[in-house]
Chain A
């Protein structure tokens, strides 16, 4: 019954292996150059976070969340982090947090300019759109394969996989937000003699900001899910706790790792949603 497929087989795995080998052979410096800044930022953030005494961290977190949202979110954030600390996972929490922060940092630095470019050029948007679609429909695990081949394993490559995985929403929503700015408002800006840069920063970007912040929120949530999966390729943090727990059938260990991840996700979501609400015009603000 399967003779057809046995007789005629496309050796695609071999082609891809050869292509990757060729890439690694010839472009190793390029991949190292990509990896370097990511690992520098990651190391700086992680070392910084771990150097802060947990009580100080909790107070700062309380203040930031309070300021961004309200006192309830502040208390919730501080209590959640404290709980994760008390169940013995402070250090993995900080590592995961550092990975998310670094990944999101690079997503913003790369994604917002790409989004602006996409909003300004239909050609560019038509070019990157299928790429974004492909990225968003590809299961998270599949990213790990090329990343490992090109960047090897460890926390740095884990962050790189996370950046690629979490990048599409911020590009998409930056593009969308800018395109949704009413034509008449853009005309108003132009008619008063805005340069293209003034138009972007004084008119289009502020009006698009609520949408861009919604994109940032999605990007943060996606990075969090990916930094956990990145434990499969040797990245540290809470993901490691979950996977090692599962591998050794230590249900308790796996579960507390999971609790840590869920709490971190909720805290980040609440804070960034509140921030997104505050960037809108006062009418759109939800208290």
Chain B
């Protein structure tokens, strides 16, 4: 059963808003209704369903009604018409008491500007939801401490919000929502107020947490990259209407109209994306102490033809090709002896337009490292070419439909980090284009 089912949801702001419904049904535009009745249409006849464990992203520019829609789900805004069902229960008809109960049981919410209580410590903020529910102090403290640990703020529980950075404050906001162990997380532009580096960290962390907790998440954003990264499915909104719902792949490769297309193709993505956005997790590495057999086994398991060698601190020492290792095994030499060092690492912040030349020269994936030269991920050629292809598709709208289509699809794979795809396959795909 779907976790959240929304049918024909409409939200109109202003006095006595129901009088706009007949005009809306007759197809009057947002502007007409505002001119004739002085009412503002926030959300207009929206329907969708969110499955348990799904991350559902609602994307749109400011004023598109996405935050209003989110607030209708827990009735922070009272829907004007339509139905919202949570676990099959129609919530628009619940009385005030039952609604409060439902909010306590089902929802955790994270806000754009954090919305922490400045007079309470981190612990006091995280405990808030449980305190409101009347959970006894001991149990509530325990749950709050667990949530604080989960978001990586252990040791900060007695600090006040103003003593923390924006990223840390939003971790408190996240911990506050997680402490009540909700079924559904509502996240209203949760990372939009953070600077880009922190934002990406938080996105990674959310993906990480989600992999462990499997909540149902409704996430609002105006940022396409964020939507593509986090969403299992994405709904694109404009003027209070959902224009398209689909997987990230569908949104990018089959945009429902010009508006969505502009969203996804409007920018030179190599200038927007950085190495971190298209890097993939390292499938296998060997340490400088492993023997050739281990190396061969790992490479066979992950289906790769070259492997990076790291030391104990995960610093990249060099790489080995499969031929090197076979040779080493035959001649009984240690792996170190045939280590190749002609690689050029990039950092996660390196723009793609700088990564592309490196990729063109290199025969192996490009290692992505952090400041301490520790291996964070790799960029395979396929992902790089896909991003490049997308630039051409974005830059030149006149390309034949088929080419743009395939390029965009490959781009999506790159944008999502290509999880689970074999790198060789990607390369072939793009070359075929």
Contacts and interface: CB of A to CB of B under 8 A. Distances in A.
A202 interface: yes
Contacts of A192: 103-104, 107-109, 128-129, 132, 176, 180
B160 A202 contact: no
Interface stretch (B9-17, B114-122, B233-241, B421-429): B114-122
B117 A185 contact: yes
A281 B129 CA distance: 20
Contacts of B115: 182, 184-185, 187-188
Interface string A133-165: 000000000000000000000000000000000
Contacts of B162: 281-283
A207 B71 contact: no
Nearest to B100: A193
A191 B74 contact: yes
B313 interface: no
A191 B160 contact: no
Contact of B111 (A187, A193, A282, A283): A187
B225 to A, nearest CB: 24
Contacts of B117: 185, 202-203, 206-207
Contacts, number: 74
A236 B421 CA distance: 90
Interface in B82-136: 100-104, 107-109, 111-113, 115-119, 128-129, 131-133
B226 to A, nearest CB: 20
Given A187-B76, A206-B119, A283-B162, A193 B101 contact: yes
Interface in A178-224: 182, 184-185, 187-195, 198, 202-203, 206-207, 209
Interface in B329-383: none
Contacts of B176: 192
B104 A193 contact: yes
B145 interface: no
B371 to A, nearest CB: 31
Contacts of A188: 109, 111, 115-116
Contacts of B71: 187
A22 to B, nearest CB: 41
Nearest to B114: A184
Nearest to A182: B115
Contact of B186 (A191, A194, A280): A191
A203 B116 CA distance: 10
A188 to B, nearest CB: 4
A48 to B, nearest CB: 33
A184 B111 contact: yes
A282 B76 contact: no
Contacts of B100: 193-195
Contacts of B161: 281
Given A184-B112, A192-B103, A192-B129, A207 B118 contact: yes
A190 B71 CA distance: 11
Contacts of A282: 160, 162-163
Nearest to A198: B132
Contacts of A198: 132
Interface in B375-408: none
A99 B381 CA distance: 84
Contact of B76 (A185, A190, A206, A283): A190
A188 B176 CA distance: 10
A190 B186 CA distance: 13
A191 B133 contact: no
Given A192-B104, A283-B160, A202 B186 contact: no
Given A184-B113, A188-B109, A283 B118 contact: yes
A285 to B, nearest CB: 10
A281 B132 contact: no
A237 to B, nearest CB: 37
A190 B128 CA distance: 11
Interface in A263-280: 280
Given A206-B117, A207-B119, A193 B160 contact: no
Contacts of A194: 100, 132
A241 B94 CA distance: 66
Contacts of B133: 193
A283 B119 CA distance: 9
Nearest to B129: A192
Residue from the set A185, A191, A283 with the largest chain B CB neighbour count within 10 Å: A191
A206 B161 CA distance: 15
Contacts of A206: 117, 119
B384 to A, nearest CB: 41
B103 A193 contact: yes
Interface of B: 71, 74, 76, 100-104, 107-109, 111-113, 115-119, 128-129, 131-133, 160-163, 176, 180, 186
30 contacts: A182-B115, A184-B111, A185-B115, A185-B116, A187-B109, A187-B115, A188-B109, A188-B116, A190-B103, A191-B74, A191-B76, A191-B107, A192-B109, A192-B129, A192-B176, A192-B180, A193-B100, A193-B102, A193-B129, A193-B132, A193-B133, A202-B132, A207-B117, A207-B118, A280-B119, A281-B119, A281-B162, A282-B162, A283-B118, A283-B160
Interface of A: 182, 184-185, 187-195, 198, 202-203, 206-207, 209, 280-283
Those 4 A-B pairs whose CB atoms lie nearest each other, nearest first: A193-B104, A281-B118, A283-B162, A188-B115
